[in-house]
């Protein structure tokens, strides 16, 4: 066993004395050492229940003959961090999580790991770590929140942000907003729509790193506790069979994940995280691959913010396996990929049943013939830009309008809420990319303000930053190259006409090449917004969004 390096032989007598100090018995020292990476904290609603999940995993590991040892991982609540300097510290934690977990796992020579994430950067960070460490590993998340109810209708966090926009537009009273405030987030768990956290937990299930139900069983259900116990037991089976993350997270598995991303209508953040995880697993892919898969993958689910369904509805309809079975009927999934169950994808989904053809549309009646995400290119985004087209209204799939240019999120929000943005405009927010932000902030506040003010059918937004999975509308992010490195988005001027054509994957400014070259020659880089601390180091090492905003060595 890997842990023999710290527990067996005379040379390891000092090590054993420290295990004695932990209260570990001689019998426990003979068993496989299983690290349980718990993301429990008391500031993230999606993590406040992870102490119970962790204890259930401990029980499962011990029942199956392992010695469970818990150590922590950090997590940021994107909702609480939204709209202020705190959001600069969200995406950047993905790499801190991966790095610190790698350090802990290798320093202490764990034989296997159970990862317990739940929210946005926590899931991909631990997947990255799993690929690096490559010991038998099983994921079990904390589960999604139940939907809230306001005046007889299901609601979620995105409804809350949009309510603030409606208040700014005079469409809601302060009491109306307070009613939403007190009812949209009724339980612990990751926010209840197909936002980033739930997208990544569902895709973990698709990749084969989590058990059935990992992405959809609500946080407050007892089934979630049972799942956690099963995860603890299953990691011991993976250890016996020597099934490791890199045996599971193969090129074919990532193609399955990208395909299901299209079918589910996941958050655009998945287009940052999947490339970064794949890179750690030894496989790189171009973002444009998403369009190739999207062209042949129907979009079968419209969960909030794209539609009126929520994670609890997807769970009751049959969960991720039921969606996979629909897509597999078109021959679009590799069914031979290995999973943590010890079975192949095909074996796992063989008995899945679609119990609600409205929540999970059959392939004969999809929401759209193409997938939920599109990658755009053009003279604004020579590399790529990304949009969640399943959350775009039909009338905004093709749009032209004058640019309203802002060099930070705060200025854009002030203009939107101040009534300075009008029908037909294209809001441009730049210098918010991985380097320019730094940290590539989410733009849920401006997109929600646009939607809340009733402008989402006439106003588009493009940015070198990114969007929350809760954003909806013609919200185009990840523009690469970003403004901070002299990408063309830096050269757009107020009033330039911007052309968006999502069906044709085009994003352009109607300015001649010659004029753009003149503007480029006159452009000067801005001073870094942050000159010290972790964000400063991050800005120096981070790659472009089209490469997953991953870190590279200096």
Active site residues: 468
| Assigned token pair, 48 | 């406040």
Q: Where are the alpha helices (DSSP H) in 45-145?
A: 50-63, 78-81, 93-107, 122-133
Nearest alpha carbon to residue 446 among 190, 43, 87: 87
Are 111 and 32 in contact by the 8 Å Cβ rule? The answer is yes
Which residues in 503-527 are b (16+ Cβ under 10 Å) and which e?
eebbbbbebeeeebeeeeeeeeeee
Q: Which residue has the tokens 């499962």?
A: 60
Burial of 543 (0-12, 13-18, 19+ CB in 10 A): middle
Q: Cα-flanking dihedrals φ and ψ of residue 462, to 5°? A: -125, 145
Q: What angle do CA 180, 183, 188 make, to 5 degrees?
A: 130
Residue 384, classed as helix, strand or coil, is strand
Nearest-10 Cα torsion for 183, 186, 190, 195: -30
Q: Where are the alpha helices (DSSP H) in 434-501?
A: 444-452
Report the sign of the C-alpha dihedral through residues 305, 311, 316, 322, in that order.
Answer: positive
Nearest alpha carbon to residue 41 among 68, 86, 85, 80: 80
Are 293 and 255 in contact by the 8 Å Cβ rule? The answer is yes
Q: What number of helices (H) and strands (E) belong to the chain? A: 22, 14
Helix axes 409-417, 157-168, angle to 10 degrees: 60
| Assigned token pair, 41 | 């904290």
Q: Cα-flanking dihedrals φ and ψ of residue 217, to 5°? A: -65, 120
Which residues in 214-226 are b (16+ Cβ under 10 Å) and which e?
bbbbbbbbeebbe
Q: Cα-flanking dihedrals φ and ψ of residue 231, to 5°? A: -65, -40
Contacts of 312 (CB under 8 A, 6+ apart): 144, 146, 147, 192, 216, 218
Q: Cα-flanking dihedrals φ and ψ of residue 398, to 5°? A: -130, 125
Residue 510, classed as helix, strand or coil, is coil
For residue 145, the 8-state DSSP code is P
Cα separation of 117 and 166, whole Å? 33
CA distances in angstroms from 149 to 13, 277, 317, 495, listed in the order given: 59, 36, 20, 42
Are 360 and 323 in contact by the 8 Å Cβ rule? The answer is yes
């Amino acid at each position: 066993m890997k842990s023999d390096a710290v527990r067996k032989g005379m040379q390891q007598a000092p090590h054993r004395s420290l295990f004695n100090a932990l209260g570990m018995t001689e019998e426990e020292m003979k068993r496989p050492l299983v690290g349980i990476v718990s993301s429990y904290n008391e500031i993230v609603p999606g993590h406040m229940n992870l102490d119970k999940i962790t204890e259930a995993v401990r029980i499962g590991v011990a029942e199956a003959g392992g010695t469970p040892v818990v150590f922590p991982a950090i997590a940021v609540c994107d909702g609480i961090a939204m709209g202020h300097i705190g959001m600069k510290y969200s995406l950047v934690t993905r790499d801190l999580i991966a790095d610190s977990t790698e350090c802990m796992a290798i320093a202490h020579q764990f034989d296997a790991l159970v990862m317990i994430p739940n929210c946005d950067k926590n899931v991909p960070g631990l997947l990255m770590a799993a690929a690096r460490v490559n010991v038998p590993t099983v994921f079990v998340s904390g589960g999604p929140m139940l939907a809230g109810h306001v005046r007889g209708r299901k609601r979620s966090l995105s409804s809350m942000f949009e309510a603030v926009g409606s208040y700014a537009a005079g469409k809601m009273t302060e009491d109306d907003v307070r009613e939403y405030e007190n009812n949209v987030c009724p339980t612990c768990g990751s926010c209840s729509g197909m936002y980033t956290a739930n997208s990544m937990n569902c895709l973990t299930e698709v990749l084969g790193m989590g058990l059935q139900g990992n992405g959809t069983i609500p946080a407050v259900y007892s089934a979630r506790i049972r799942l956690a116990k099963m995860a603890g037991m299953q990691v011991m089976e993976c250890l016996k069979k020597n099934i490791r993350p890199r045996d599971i997270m193969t090129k074919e598995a990532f193609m399955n994940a990208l395909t299901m991303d299209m079918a589910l209508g996941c958050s655009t953040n998945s287009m940052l995280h999947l490339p970064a995880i794949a890179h750690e697993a030894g496989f790189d892919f171009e973002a444009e691959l998403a369009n190739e898969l999207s062209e042949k993958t129907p979009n079968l689910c419209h969960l909030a913010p794209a539609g009126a369904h929520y994670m609890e509805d997807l769970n009751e309809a049959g969960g991720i396996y039921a969606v996979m079975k629909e897509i597999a009927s078109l021959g679009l999934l590799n069914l031979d990929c290995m999973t943590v169950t010890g079975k192949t994808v095909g074996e796992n989904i063989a008995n899945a049943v679609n119990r609600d053809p409205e929540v999970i549309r059959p392939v004969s009646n999809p929401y759209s013939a193409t997938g939920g995400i599109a990658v755009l290119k053009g003279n604004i985004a020579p590399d790529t830009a990304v949009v969640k087209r399943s959350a775009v209204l039909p009338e905004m799939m093709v749009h032209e309008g004058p640019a309203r240019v802002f060099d930070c999120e705060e200025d854009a929000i002030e203009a939107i809420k101040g009534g300075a943005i009008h029908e037909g405009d294209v809001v441009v927010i730049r210098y918010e990319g991985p380097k320019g932000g730094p940290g590539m902030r989410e733009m849920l506040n401006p997109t929600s303000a646009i939607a809340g003010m009733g402008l989402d059918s006439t106003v588009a937004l493009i940015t070198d930053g990114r969007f929350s999975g809760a954003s909806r509308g013609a919200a185009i992010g990840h523009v690469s190259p970003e403004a901070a490195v002299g990408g063309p988005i830096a050269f757009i001027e107020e009033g330039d006409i911007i052309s968006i054509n999502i069906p044709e994957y085009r994003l352009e400014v109607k300015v001649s090449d010659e004029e753009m070259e003149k503007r480029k020659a006159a452009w000067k880089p801005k001073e870094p917004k942050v000159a010290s601390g972790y964000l400063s180091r991050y800005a120096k090492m981070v790659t472009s969004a089209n490469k997953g905003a991953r870190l590279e060595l200096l």
